[in-house]
Structure formats: C-alpha cells, structure tokens
Structure 1
Amino acid sequence: MTTPAPLDLRQYGHADAPGIRVLLLDVHDEVYEGSDDPLAGRDEFAKFVDHWSAHPGFACVVAYEGDQPVGYAYGAPLSSATTWWAKVTPALPEVFTSETGTRTFALSELMVRAPWRGTGASRRIHDALLEGRPEERVTLLVHWDHCKVRALYGGWGYRTVGETVPFEGAPKLCAAVLDLR
C-alpha cells in the first residue's frame, strides 16, 4: 500500500469567499461533469456557494497537492431562524431542532476530484474543516440514493435522523448528524 501524498489543507472564512468562489465552482463542475442532476449545473450550484459563503460563520477547507486543488468542504453554523429541520421526516422534537446559531454546524459540501478519490483525502478535508469547531454537532444532507456515500458518512460516525426534500426540485435526501463532543 502506498502512502498518500501530503495534502496542503488551507482554511478559508467568510472574508475569503470571493477569492475562492471560482475555484469552488470549477472543482464542482469537474466533479459533476455529465451529471443529470438538475441542481448540478454551475449556475444552480453558484447559488448554494453564494448562500453559504454569505454567512459570517462560513468555513471552508481546500486541499491541494502541489498546485492542484484536490477537493474541498464548506459549511456554516445554522442560525436560530434556520429551516434546515423543517421538512425532515419523521418530524424531530423541538429539543433536537432548536438552533441558537452556535449549536450545529451544517456541512454543505464535501467533494474530491477523481484522481484523489479512495485516497483518504475526503476524510482529511472533512476532519480539517471540523477540527476545533465550537458547535456541539455537525449535520449534513446526502442523496438518499447514494448508498456508498451514506455508508461512508456512517463509518465516520454520522447517524441518520430522517429524510427530507428541503425545497422544490431537490431529490430525497438523508439528514444525518455527528456529535462533536
């Protein structure tokens, strides 16, 4: 077994978002090239990038090998006004869904370019993003039909809390949570 190449894991925040926006979109375009997912187009995905990066608590890790971007992960804390849990079924109790702006970090995206898949890069990016987070938990949504990805997150300690179609046009997604403490 070969040792994975060292990755340069770079941290970015809200103020850095304009400078990494094109990089995030370009990596996304490569990862989703040929996808029939109606939400995978550059313009649609740009709306998600802009939404999440507008949050003052936006955090992003981009991994590089040399000068090549390997992949990235980003997200932000859920605000007290979030609708993240509103359409999760079965309905979750208010004690679970109540957000303060500091309780739950939402991992919005994690993607790795094809040459680095299966190398452990996704886990390293994930862990770098969450390292030292002050929130008590992290949540994410993953396509229900992507069984391998759901299993990967399960292996990292995420537990499924329900399913959701958060907005019109979205696929059925699995809502999962990982306790950080």
Structure 2
Amino acid sequence: MSSTTIAVWNGSHDQLTRAAELYAEVFSEAPYGEERSQSIESFTSRVRRRASEKPSFRLLIATEGDRVVGLVLGTGVSRGDWWWDRLEAALPPDVKEVWLDQECFSVEELAVDGSHRRRGVAAALMAAVLDDLPHRTALLSCYQEARSAQKLYSRLGWAVIDPAVHVTESRAVQVMGIRLHE
C-alpha cells in the first residue's frame, strides 16, 4: 500500500476510463461474471449520472503511478431512489427503523486489482469513502457467494443486516451496514 495513492476522481474522461477498465476486469471474475465491454459502458454511464444527480457522490480511485489499482463508488440515497425503495420494501420494519434514516450513504462498488488484494487497498478505500459523511448510516450489498468480500466488510466493522434480500428478481444479496459518527 506504500506506493498506492488514493484520491477523489478528478472528473477526467481518461481517469474514468481507466477506472471502468478495472471495474470490468474485477467484475468479470466469479461470482459476478459480468461481460467486460458491457461493464465498462455501464460503469461509466452510472458514474456520470450519479455525479450529476446524487448527494454525497464519491468516486475514489487508488493508483500506483498511472495505473488504477482500486476504486470505490458511493452516494447518498433516500426515499425515491431505486436502491432505497427496494430495501424499504424488502427489509423488516425494525431493521428499516435502525438503518434507513431520512437519507443514508450507499457504497455501490468496491473493486481492487487482483495483484493488490490483501495489501490494505480495499480497507483504505473504504475508510476514505466513509470519511466525514453527513449520514448516520452506510449500507452495501454483496452476492452471497462473495465470501472474501463479506469477510473484508466484517473485518472493517460492517454488520450483516439481512443475509438474503431479494432486491431484484434474480439472486438474493447480503445487505450490510455500518453506523457512522459513533
């Protein structure tokens, strides 16, 4: 991690393209199995849309020299957002009361190059993206099969809110949360 730098996305097309390429590389792996070119296009358009529409938008990029080795994307979410509304419909009332405040932060994506895993890059990205947020809680989801991701999040203090939520028609995801400002 010593030669790795973490910085806020500078808004450039070049840096976003390199981040999207890393995203596509990581999420083409099991258990995700996303198609690379479609992932690049989807990630790029999602980032641009979120940057212009969402509160507390954050895209942090970890680099070594010019090489992107990690990224984390997150935004504020509230009632009316797709993710919020799906969680509100799926979670039990007592869980919603604790985790779905008026607005919370959602970590949408975390990706680290395979050669940089288990070197502190993911932990540093997660700490940086959550730093100084105005929200009370942060949420994320991960595939149930993504055991190494779940272990990482648990080590970082994230709690399992629901191990198997169906927010789409496809497979269930594990939803995790962390309290901020405690």
Give the TM-score normalised by the residue count of structure 2.
Answer: 0.80
SS of structure 2 residue aligned to 1:126? helix
Equivalent position of 1:131 in the other structure: 131
Q: Report the AA paired with residue 108 of structure 2.
A: S
**C-alpha contact (below 8 Å) 2:19/2:68 kept by paired residues:** no
Q: Report the AA paired with residue 11 of structure 1.
A: V
SS of structure 2 residue aligned to 1:86? helix
Larger deviation, residues 45-54 vs 150-159: 45-54
Q: Unaligned 5+ residue runs, structure 2?
A: none
Give per-residue Cα distances to partners, 1:88-125, cap 9 Å, x unaligned: 35x24352354423xx1000001100111111111011
Give 4+ residue runs of structure 1 displaced > 6 Å after superposition.
none
**C-alpha contact (below 8 Å) 1:87/1:164 kept by paired residues:** no
Equivalent position of 2:165 in the other structure: 164
Equivalent position of 1:111 in the other structure: 111
Q: Unaligned 5+ residue runs, structure 1?
A: none
CA distance in 1, matches of 2:63, 2:79: 34
Q: Report the AA paired with residue 144 of structure 2.
A: W
Q: How many residues align?
A: 172
Give per-residue Cα distances to partners, 1:16-74, cap 9 Å, x unaligned: 38664422321112223454746554425644551544424311110111111111001
CA distance in 2, matches of 1:5, 1:110: 20
Equivalent position of 1:8 in the other structure: 5
CA 88–151 in structure 1, closer or farther in 2 if over 3 Å, else same:
farther
SS of structure 2 residue aligned to 1:115? helix
Offset at residue 177 of structure 1 (A): 0.5
Equivalent position of 2:71 in the other structure: 72
> Is structure 2 residue 143 aligned with structure 1 residue 143?
yes
CA distance in 2, matches of 1:178, 1:62: 22
Offset at residue 158 of structure 1 (A): 0.7
Give the TM-score normalised by the residue count of structure 1.
Answer: 0.80
Which of 16, 28, 52 matches 2:23?
28
**C-alpha contact (below 8 Å) 2:63/2:69 kept by paired residues:** yes
Bigger share in helix = 2
CA 121–34 in structure 1, closer or farther in 2 if over 3 Å, else same:
closer
Give per-residue Cα distances to partners, 1:147-179, cap 9 Å, x unaligned: 22212211111111112121233x321001001
**C-alpha contact (below 8 Å) 1:87/1:165 kept by paired residues:** no
CA 164–8 in structure 1, closer or farther in 2 if over 3 Å, else same:
same
CA distance in 2, matches of 1:67, 1:151: 29
**C-alpha contact (below 8 Å) 1:10/1:61 kept by paired residues:** yes
